[in-house]
Structure 1
């Protein structure tokens, strides 16, 4: 049974691995391989562990972390919606988004926003997000990637 819970320090390495493997599996047809490697390869540092502990949520299936999501309540920014490639297509990303929306509603947010990778735009649209214009996402490592800024109104229960 899939559950979603607040992440802790011990989830940082799983979150890093899920991010890395998900990006390489899902984004390969939309971005150059070198850009993907520059974005997600390497090892997590203390800053990553701190961000995971502070902002991340994890999807757990049968005791294993299989997905991640992040919501910054101060801004309504959603990030790090990643699912282990072995678990893609099972509704885990949608369940994570629904959970983050419920959290946003609990905290009185009117809207959420995110920067979708080009491959993920159809997924987010199917989940009720809107946005069409291609923009530039700047990673923490200074890499620039094409993205689509998207928004969704926070509807209690929806």
Structure 2
């Protein structure tokens, strides 16, 4: 059974490697190997750990972390939607998106945004997100990647 909870500092390691593995598994056909290597290189540090603790949510199966997601309430920005490759296609990503959208509604967010990797844009469209044009995502690590800026309007919780 999949459960979603607020991430803790101890989830930083799992979150880093789920991100890395998901990117390497699903983005190879859309991004050059050099870009993927720069994007996934390294190990989780204190900055990453603080980010996970502050803003991430994790989906777990039993006690194992299988997916991550982040909502910045102040901006309505969704980030860090990554699913462990072994759990892709099982509805875990959709559950995380539904969870974050409900969280946004509870906080009065009416318009959400995200920057989708090229391979993930069809998934987000199936979840009701809109966006077709190719833009540029600038990662905190200084890497520039082609992305699809997307938006979704959500109603405020009653």
The answer to whether TM tops 0.5 is: yes
Shift of 1:155: 2.7
Which SS does the other structure have where 1:118 is aligned?
Answer: coil
Shift of 1:68: 0.2
The 5 Å alignment of 1:1-158 reads 1-156=1-156
Q: Could you tell me how far apart the structure 2 residues matched to 1:121 and 1:18 are?
A: 19
TM-score, L = length of structure 2: 0.97
Shift of 1:156: 5.0
TM-score, L = length of structure 1: 0.97
Shift of 1:111: 1.0
Gaps of 5+ in 2: none
Gaps of 5+ in 1: none
Shift of 1:26: 0.6
Query: Given that residues 110 and 156 in structure 2 are in contact (C-alpha distance below 8 angstroms), is that contact kept between their aligned partners in structure 1?
Result: no
Q: Could you tell me how far apart the structure 2 residues matched to 1:25 and 1:66 are?
A: 15
Q: Could you tell me how far apart the structure 2 residues matched to 1:82 and 1:134 are?
A: 20
- Provide the aligned C-alpha RMSD in A: 0.9
Runs of 4+ in 1 over 6 A off after TM superposition: none
Q: Could you tell me how far apart the structure 2 residues matched to 1:30 and 1:151 are?
A: 21
